[in-house]
Amino acid sequence: MNRFLTLAIESSCDETAAAVLDGGRRVLSNVISSQVPIHEAYGGVVPEIASRKHLENVNPVVRKALKDAGVTWDDIDLIGVTYGPGLIGALVIGVAAAKGYSLARGIPMVGVNHMYGHVASNLITYPDLEPPFLCLVVSGGHTNIVLMEDYNRCRVLGGTRDDAVGEAYDKVARVIGLGYPGGPKIDKLARSGDPDKIHFKRVYLEKDSFDFSFSGIKTQVMNYVNSEKQAGREINAADVAAGFQEAVVEVLVNKSVEAVNQLFEEKNGGNSEVSKRRLVVAGGVAANSRLREALTDACKREEIELFLPELGLCTDNAAMIGSAAYYKYREEGPDDLTLDAYADLEF
């Protein structure tokens, strides 16, 4: 049996995670130690606490990933680790652990851009999916439409000019008293709300722009909540959640469809591989039920093939890092022990 095993580590925010993959797509284990209950008390991620918890968790999580996969260090061919973007104090723990393992065990190591990791969650979900493809990336720190030209190369067509969409979910959740983590809470509450009761303005920016702006909608929600309070009226949080969600989802869906259409028209009436009518989605907000539903409807209508990562791979995990590590190592080889962590790392 010709196996190539990667042990991957992810610690960019508030999840300490490790996974073992065979090749780029087959997940043998996927362990996540979430710090959500710890940060919940503070209403958001406290970076210093996150680093300390990563330090406590990283070795046990790695050990469990090896055990769950039924392998030992002797079987591991590659170590992959997220080296950015993210919280710097959190990233350095994963990178230091990866370096330590690499040096002690003599195993090559490769640093992975977290965003390529998110995109790679689709390579695991769809074993036959290959670049080039267009990808909508929606997370707590990013909102981008990118053309993945190859496994390790992409062209960014648009991005947020202010808040990321996940950040908008989290901030709006705080405004209506839902707490952290806001995205899943709004998702759930919105199901019992009326999306048409309160209209929030959709921000599309210039015509033909694939950029986004989500900071204004948070202000709109705040203004709405304050004016209702001043008028002595109770707000209906479910209607606010549903109205907010509808506004952001509509923009994400329309811009993504527009990007697919534009690329299709640009490339010889659709003859090129790049212009296949396909849309891939990645990032924590890809778990959002309304976004998944609206994208499914729109893509059906527009005859676009839609790829949504399985739910467990949308939010931060190490399996996706293992997949991205495999493809990076295959083309670019290993990093050395001077590998550093970067809070800001371009796509």
The residue ranges that bind Zn ion (CB under 5 A) are 139, 316
In the bound state with ligand KG4, the residue whose beta carbon lies nearer, of 131 and 181, is 181
Shortest Å distance, C-beta 302 to ligand KG4: 23
Which tokens go with 295?
Answer: 């994208």
Cα 292 from Cα 305, distance rounded (Å): 13
Shortest Å distance, C-beta 186 to ligand KG4: 6
Shortest Å distance, C-beta 316 to Zn ion: 4
Report the residue from 288, 299, 313, 324 that binds ligand KG4 according to the rule CB under 6 A. Answer: 288
Q: Please name which of 259, 323, 329, 271 lies closest in space to residue 119, comparing C-alpha atoms.
A: 323
User: Could you say whether residue 283 binds ligand KG4 (CB under 6 A)?
Assistant: yes
CA geometry: angle at 208 spanning 202 and 210, to 5°?
65
User: Could you say whether residue 139 binds ligand KG4 (CB under 6 A)?
Assistant: yes
User: Could you say whether residue 30 binds ligand KG4 (CB under 6 A)?
Assistant: no
Q: Does the CA dihedral 56-58-61-62 come out positive or negative?
A: negative
Shortest Å distance, C-beta 115 to ligand KG4: 8
User: Could you say whether residue 187 binds ligand KG4 (CB under 6 A)?
Assistant: yes
User: Could you say whether residue 315 binds ligand KG4 (CB under 6 A)?
Assistant: yes
Say which residues have a Cβ less than 8 Å from residue 191's Cβ, sequence separation at least 6: 242, 289
Q: Please name which of 96, 8, 118 lies closest in space to residue 339, comparing C-alpha atoms.
A: 96
Shortest Å distance, C-beta 73 to ligand KG4: 28
Shortest Å distance, C-beta 103 to ligand KG4: 28
Which position has the token pair 């990336």? 137
Binds 39, which of Zn ion, ligand KG4, none (CB < 5 to 8 A, cut-off by type)? none
Binds 183, which of ligand KG4, Zn ion, none (CB < 5 to 8 A, cut-off by type)? ligand KG4
Binding mask 145-184 for ligand KG4 (x = CB under 6 A): ---------------------xx-xx----------xxxx
User: Using CB under 6 A, which residues numbered 84 to 123 contact ligand KG4?
Assistant: 118
Extract the runs of DSSP E, i.e. beta strands, from the chain: 5-10, 15-22, 26-34, 78-84, 109-113, 133-138, 143-150, 153-159, 278-282, 305-307
Report the residue from 24, 84, 94, 140 that binds ligand KG4 according to the rule CB under 6 A. Answer: 140
Binds 285, which of Zn ion, ligand KG4, none (CB < 5 to 8 A, cut-off by type)? ligand KG4
Q: Calculate the dihedral angle through the C-alpha atoms of 139, 144, 147, 149, rounding to the nearest 10 degrees.
A: -60
In the bound state with ligand KG4, the residue whose beta carbon lies nearer, of 220 and 245, is 245
Cα 253 from Cα 102, distance rounded (Å): 42
End-to-end CA distance of the chain: 35
In the bound state with ligand KG4, the residue whose beta carbon lies nearer, of 246 and 316, is 316
In the bound state with Zn ion, the residue whose beta carbon lies nearer, of 30 and 139, is 139
User: Could you say whether residue 287 binds ligand KG4 (CB under 6 A)?
Assistant: yes
- Cβ neighbours around 66 below 10 Å, total: 20
Shortest Å distance, C-beta 143 to ligand KG4: 10
Shortest Å distance, C-beta 69 to Zn ion: 22
152-155 CB contacts, 8 Å cutoff, 24+ apart: 152/116, 152/327, 152/328, 152/331, 152/332, 154/116, 154/119, 154/347
DSSP letter (8 states) at residue 302: T
CA geometry: angle at 63 spanning 60 and 69, to 5°?
140
Stretch that binds ligand KG4, among 101-109, 144-152, 194-202, 283-291 (CB under 6 A): 283-291
Which residues make up the interface to ligand KG4 (CB under 6 A)?
Answer: 13, 118, 139-141, 166-167, 169-170, 181-184, 187, 283-285, 287-288, 315-316
